[in-house]
Structure 1
């Protein structure tokens, strides 16, 4: 690949320095954990919404969407079409539970509804999952920077890790939210710049792109089988991918994000009012859909571009001889003018940072709120809890950098696979768990505990089947999360029919849809 121009380095350097400066600017505001975790609960809806866009679009998405459209078609976009439905459900059913009682963590709800044991389970599962997410995202973006910048991968890991850690640890949620807003705008601008460059080099412009893409089936919802694109069927099936099942999977995934993800719940709690929290959901929904469509169309446009301007690397990525995720970096390094390449690299880094900073702050919020302040060390002053919050974020940063480095120099995927399997086992069925709490007046820690055990056993069975130790389940592994959440709900419900709710259990006021007091 071509080397970077001085202008590119200047753009990247300015971007990194600007993010660090923002963190220190916001650090002066942090006097207590209320400010550090929820920004004093004064964020406007549009700010929260755009920050959630940045959080959801990691550098993986930045590369994966164009790669999918380039190599196959638009099947990945199907997962997003029911996002507005999930957003509407979040607005009317989920947000009231988290906004009631000035909560900071999603798992405070589980403690009130099912007891401290279930709260601890949810908290630990979340923290483990986020540690894995931090390391994997940092590793992947550093691998990309290694390819594009030519630095040793450990240098990429340390530099990117330190920059995102500095402003997150210093500035708290204020820095996270506002840098995410900026990073979202950089991401959008970077995508538009790439599209503009492509259009300038295709004589027929957007009309030709659409004509060729339609003729070659690149705008359809199709799977690749060998060298052929095969349209999806639209029936109901657990044994293969179909259009309806992918839509359902997308709905479940978005409900899980909008209803149980601490990154999202923390932003709900940081909004200045219930009305602004609801606005935030619509902002993020209607911003994400066109952004993802833009990146899908970038992949389609690059397919048309390289059809008329074929190169060996581009053709190898189209055939599968090279990974198609390299198509966007290849285009950026070979066809973008000086200065703009640096801007796009900054956009890739921005996409990673907006995921990393949110997870680091969320880990700190869950640990301090649900574990340290609640069980380990009670009745300390805010100065103490703020110190522990920053210390926790620092530990998260160190773990992230160390584990990403281990992944980079591992000869096999064993470590990554092992930890991903562990988080999958522990964290399965969280949407089913929260939904049981939201939509029934039944159950306590005993019935829900059986649901947790059943779901973990199911996930272990699926993993054993995937590795050939037991007969495979009769469904496509793509739908494991759907089955796990249904299993969690059903087992908890059946167990609650047998094990009656304890008479000493706490009040259900504001904890179910049947007992929620409507907000004014």
Structure 2
């Protein structure tokens, strides 16, 4: 990277921190910190929901996957319209009626404190790992390009995001999300334009080479459940996005920041649907990169991993100045996700574990908890990111375990929403069975062969673990709840 690129990148980072921190004067109460006093424009919340979808992982991973294989990942995007409709039809009205900054107050109302604590803890652990992973990946990219020290990059980035998230609250998060969403979209558009004009024989050559290598395929349309067919990815996307829209604090909190239910529905719909064409842009970048380096094979080092082809293109093929802008756009995707995790996690900690009233005397105490929670979450996520420098394999295993437990969230929510007769004990049994199913499907293909138990490992694709786990929670809880209800009814009649 040239000095101009570095200056542009650093200027972006400093500018975002200063802009986000400028909301400090509007952030003097817990309501302002968590809900922005419900005065944030709808278009800003829409872009914030979109930016929550797009992390730096997807910014780099989608082009990498399209470069290596095809457009199979787009099946995931095609599930979003259904999840967006469910949000508008059911989720937004539900959470607006509960009227709590925390998504998990509803589960406490349905099943008791244990449900809220279980889901809240799993959410916090998952967000901690997510923020740490993204910090690590951002640092890895900058280290690769500039050879700066990894730990230093992680610490500076982590505390930069923490600073504006802590000072500006949810208003800083959603407004910076909106800016970062615009930057990352412009960055993707610029990359596509550069690739189109860089092809020796014009834009048609991209499609000719890609079509000859089946790069636009959406994957197999077969019915097997052992590979990532179109249907497996689509079903996986439906369940994951129902979990996002239905139980993820990152999204639910944005429903509550809107000025009305009508505006919240608009934000959920637009923010989700915007991801569909943008994800297609990212996938097209990967396809175009394949065609570009096929046409100009000498420009790419042999053996370059697929997920590093896009960063290589950014660093070596873009004009001076634009490389810094593109690196900033990748950082934009990562920073928006991290800031969201910081604010949402602090909100969950205050709302679910302290439950302070809105009494003015508790105002300072609430703000102190929110500030402390934001700082501690940022501190530990930085620690996770630094640890990943040397012990990625151990943390990968921990991340998989955290994903297993968080997989029980959607099933528990659906059980509470769809089956009003089900109470706490059947729900607990359902969660236990569901987590065991998810654990078996996710971990048995990895661990069972080492124990000589290959015949007992799950033959199904790991994408389906959340599908079967969610179904198991619902079925066990529903049947158990109805059995208990009938028994109690008979006892009451006989009495």
Fold shared, TM-score > 0.5 on shorter chain: yes
- 1:72-94 deviations in Å (ceiling 9; x for gaps): 11111111112111111111011
* Equivalences for residues 186-197 of structure 1 within 5 A: 186-197=183-194
Q: Which residue of 2 aligns with 1:104?
A: 101
Q: TM-score, normalised by structure 2?
A: 0.93
2:369 is equivalent to residue 372 of structure 1: no
Greater mean alpha carbon deviation, residues 197-206 or residues 17-26: 197-206
- Please report the TM-score for the alignment, with normalisation by the length of structure 1: 0.89
Farther off after superposition, 178-187 or 466-475: 466-475
The answer for the alignment partner of 2:389 in structure 1 is 408
Alignment of 1:356-505 (within 5 A): 356-373=338-355, 381-410=362-391, 413-414=393-394, 416-462=395-441, 463-468=443-448, 469=451, 470=453, 471-500=456-485
Which deviates more, 178-187 or 144-153?
A: 144-153
Once residues 388 and 437 of structure 2 are traced to their aligned partners in structure 1, the CA distance between those partners, rounded to angstroms, is 28
2-side partners of 1:238 and 1:203: how far apart?
41
Indicate which of 221, 225, 233 corresponds to 1:246.
Answer: 233
Mapping 1:197-208, distance limit 5 Å? 197-208=194-205
* In 2: Cα distance, 1:135 partner to 1:363 partner: 14
- Pick which of 468-477 and 251-260 moved more: 468-477
Aligned length: 482
State how far apart, in whole Å, the 2-side matches of 1:249 and 1:357 are: 26
Picking from 113, 118, 122, the partner of 1:125 is 122
Q: How far off is 1:365 after superposition?
A: 0.6
Mapping of residues 16-95 of structure 1, within 5 Å: 16-95=13-92
Residues of 1 paired with 2:215 and 2:404: CA distance? 36
What 5-or-longer segments of structure 1 have no aligned partner?
Answer: 223-231, 504-520
- 1:335 corresponds to 2:314: no
Structure 2 counterpart of 1:508: none
Deviations 1:477-513 (A, max 9, x none): 221111111011111101101223999xxxxxxxxxx
Query: Aligned partners of 1:63, 1:206: CA distance in 2, in Å?
Result: 22
Q: 1:50: Cα distance to partner?
A: 0.5
Between 488-497 and 436-445, report the one with greater CA deviation: 436-445
1:217 paired with 2:217, answer no
Question: What per-residue deviation string (whole Å, max 9, x for no partner) do you get for residues 206-236 of structure 1?
Answer: 22212222222111124xxxxxxxxx1x243
Offset of 1:296 from its aligned partner? 0.7
Matching of residues 252-291 of structure 1 within 5 Å: 252-291=239-278
RMSD: 2.0
Give the direction of change, closer, same or farther, for the CA distance of 1:409–1:466 in structure 2 (3 Å limit): closer
CA distance in 1, matches of 2:170, 2:82: 28
Instruction: Spell out, residue by residue over 1:223-281, the C-alpha distance to the aligned partner (whole angstroms, 9 max, x if none).
Output: xxxxxxxxx1x243333332222211111111111111100000001111111111012
Q: Does the aligned pair in 2 maintain the 1:258–1:265 contact within 8 Å?
A: yes
Contact 2:39 2:259 in 1 (8 A): yes
Question: Higher helix proportion, which one?
Answer: 2
